[in-house]
């Protein structure tokens, strides 16, 4: 059963066409890596999935709910879909604990004790329970990104979107974030990851999708994608980054 279905999704920023007819289906518990050169529309695509960007043509159906202008649908989808950003986007005026418990308390209407217990559990899962009372500014980049993952998980989403989660990190810290993501993938979470970490793609994901100029160029299993890609554009891209 497909949890995300997109049909011929198109989006323009002014005259510039960012997405040009993207159609794909993502099954439950699948881990998808989206890669491609910058400006190819991969971030725009996953931001369309939880309506941070609005698509202009085509259909996006998440967990059976179609994304339209109806605010109720948008809210329903957003609480199903967790998102991790390139620049973490933690709330700097709140502690790590408050960052994580904010949405469960206000959006999911949990009690504070319940939310805090869950948050502590998640912090242990991402490996930084001792940082609960610190402010985001006091943490390293890798720790901040792990808090961001915990914050998204606190809403108990069915799908996790990762928008270049390791691009803003030092090489040393990339591993700690990737480890958390691997563990998450193994636990059966549906994940769409926009990344340049080809190691992660090879090791963890079920499918690799290659974007260029707003088009879906290639969709392949990781082995074939890296060893014998179908299109010339993919070959060129891989030769440049590997």
Partner 1 sequence: MNFIENTKVRWLRDNLFSSIGSATITLITVYMLISMYRGTVGFILSPMRKWTAVTYNMQLYMIFNYAEDESWRAWASVGVALLLAGITLGYWNTGEKTSFNSISTGIFKLSTALTLMVVLAPTETEVMNNDGSRSMVEVISSNQRMNLLIPMAVLTLLSFLLTRYDIQKSFNKTKMIIFYLGFLVASGWLIKVPTVVFDDAGNRVKPDLFLPVATTTTIPWTILYAVLWAAFFIGLFLQKKELKTLKRIIPISWVILPLYLFSWLYKKPIIEFNKVLMNDIPGVLIFWTIGFLIIRYITNEKFMSYKNYLTGVFLLATALILFLRIPFLFKVLTFSVVLLLLVAPAIANTTEGKKSLLIIWVVAVAVLAFLLRGSGSPTGIMTPTGSFLGGFSLTWVLAIFGTYVSFPFGVILALGRTSNLPLVRIICTGIIEIVRSVPYITWLFFASVMLTVFMPEGVEFNLIVRVLIVTAFFSGAYFAENIRGGLQSIPKGQYEAANAIGMNPFQRISLIVLPQALRAVIPTLVSSIITAFKDSSLVAIIGLFDTLRIGSAVIPTQSSPVNFVGTQLDNLLFIALFYWVFCFIFSRRTMKIEKKLGLGER
CA distance 94 to 18: 35
Q: How far is the CB of 238 from partner 1 (least distance, A)?
A: 31
Q: How far is the CB of 184 from partner 1 (least distance, A)?
A: 17
The gap between the terminal CA atoms of the chain, to the nearest Å, is 34
Between 110 and 182, CB nearer to partner 1 = 110
Q: How far is the CB of 127 from partner 1 (least distance, A)?
A: 21
Between 64 and 92, CB nearer to partner 1 = 92
Supply φ then ψ for residue 218, to 5 degrees: -145, 145
Instruction: Tell me the C-alpha to C-alpha distance, in Å, between residue 100 and each of 30, 51, 155, 237.
Output: 25, 21, 9, 38
Residues that bind partner 1 (CB under 8 A): 50-52, 75, 78-79, 81-83, 85, 87, 89-93, 102-103, 106-107, 109, 111, 135-138, 151-152, 155
Between 77 and 216, CB nearer to partner 1 = 77
Length of the chain counted residue by residue: 242
Between 27 and 112, CB nearer to partner 1 = 112
Q: How far is the CB of 119 from partner 1 (least distance, A)?
A: 13
CA distance 44 to 49: 9
CA distance 228 to 2: 27
Between 56 and 87, CB nearer to partner 1 = 87
CA distance 226 to 238: 7
Q: How far is the CB of 124 from partner 1 (least distance, A)?
A: 20
Say if CB 48 and CB 11 are below 8 A apart. yes
């Amino acid at each position: 059963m497909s949890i995300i279905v997109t049909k011929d999704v198109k989006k323009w920023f002014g005259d510039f066409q960012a997405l040009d007819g993207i159609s794909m289906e993502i099954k439950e518990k699948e881990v998808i890596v989206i890669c491609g050169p910058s400006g190819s529309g991969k971030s725009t695509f996953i931001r369309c999935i939880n309506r941070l960007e609005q698509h202009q043509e085509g259909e996006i159906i998440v967990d059976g709910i179609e994304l339209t202008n109806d605010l109720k649908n948008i809210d329903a989808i957003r609480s199903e879909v967790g998102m991790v950003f390139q620049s973490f986007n933690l709330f700097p005026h709140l502690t790590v604990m408050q960052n994580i418990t904010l949405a469960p308390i206000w959006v999911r209407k949990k009690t504070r004790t319940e939310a805090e217990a869950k948050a502590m559990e998640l912090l242990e899962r991402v490996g930084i329970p001792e940082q609960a009372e610190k402010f985001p500014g006091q943490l390293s980049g890798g720790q901040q990104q792990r808090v961001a993952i915990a914050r998204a998980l606190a809403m108990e989403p069915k799908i996790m979107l990762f928008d270049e989660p390791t691009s803003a990190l030092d090489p040393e810290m990339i591993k700690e974030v990737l480890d958390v993501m691997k563990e998450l993938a193994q636990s059966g979470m549906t994940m769409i990851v926009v990344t340049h970490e080809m190691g992660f793609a090879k090791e963890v994901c079920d499918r690799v999708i290659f974007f260029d100029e707003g088009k879906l160029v290639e969709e392949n299993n990781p082995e074939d994608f890296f060893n014998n890609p179908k299109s010339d554009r993919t070959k060129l891209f891989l030769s440049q980054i590997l």
